[in-house]
Amino acid sequence: MQTIKTWCTKYTFSFNQKTNIRSFQRGGHILRSHLEDYIYELYKSIGVMNPTDLDIKFIASKLGVNITYKQKAFRFDDEIILVKGTESEEWMEFGHEICHFLRHYGNQLDMHPLFIDLQEYQANYFAYHFCVPTFMLDRLFNYTLSDIMNLFNVGYEFASKRLDMYKNKIYSRVLLNGHARIGVIKHW
C-alpha cells in the first residue's frame, strides 16, 4: 500500500492501487461525521456493505418496516408509504422516509411548523447519505456522475448534489488539516 505522509504527521492519506480504496485518517481512524458513522453501523449490522446490497425490500425487511404504495409518501409506525415511481425515485424517497422511521418521534400533524421543517431538512440530508453512503464512496476511485447514478440507482440531481457534498467534505478534510499540497482530488 502506498501511503503519502504530509507535513502534519498525525494524518495520513492512503491509496491502495490494487483495490482503488482510499482513506483519510487521523491517528489511525477514518474521519467521519456522526451521521456517516450511524449509517455505516446501520448498514454493517444488516449486512449491507456494497452498492449491490442497496435494495429497498431487503433493507426494509431487515429493519422491520413494511412498504406500501399510495398517493403521498409518509411514515406511520412501522409502515413506510411510498408513491409508485421508478426504482430510482422510490429508492430516494425511501431514504427520506426511513430517516423519519429511524430517527424521528412524534406526529408532524401536532408539531410546530419550524420543527416540521427541521425534520424534513434532516430527512433530506439523511437520504443523501443513506442512498449514497460515504463509506461506499470512499472505496471508489475515478468515477463519473453517471457511474454514481447507475451504481447507487439515484437521479442526476441527487447524484450531483451528493457528489458535491462528498467533494466538499474531502476538501474540508484536506484543507482544514493542512493537506492542500497533496493534490488528492484529481477526479472532479
What's the pLDDT at 44?
97
What's the pLDDT at 111?
83
DSSP character for 180? T
CA end-to-end span of the chain, whole Å?
23
What's the pLDDT at 57?
96
Which has more confidence, 7 or 29?
29
Over residues 114-118, mean pLDDT: 92
Contact 154, 88 (CB under 8 A): yes
pLDDT at 15 over 70: no
**Taking all residues of the chain, what is their mean pLDDT, rounded to a whole number?**
80
Contact 132, 148 (CB under 8 A): yes
Over residues 40-44, mean pLDDT: 97
Query: How many whole angstroms separate alpha carbon 39 and alpha carbon 135?
Result: 9
Q: How confident is the model at residue 185 (pLDDT cuts 50, 70, 90)?
A: very low
**C-alpha pair distances (Å), 147 with each of 10, 23, 73, 90, 98:** 33, 20, 28, 19, 24
Least confident range from 16-20, 53-57, 143-147: namely 16-20
Torsion of CA 137, 141, 143, 147, to 10 degrees: -50
Query: How many whole angstroms separate alpha carbon 36 and alpha carbon 126?
Result: 9
Chain segment 67-86, per-residue pLDDT in tens: 999 888 777 778 888 999 99
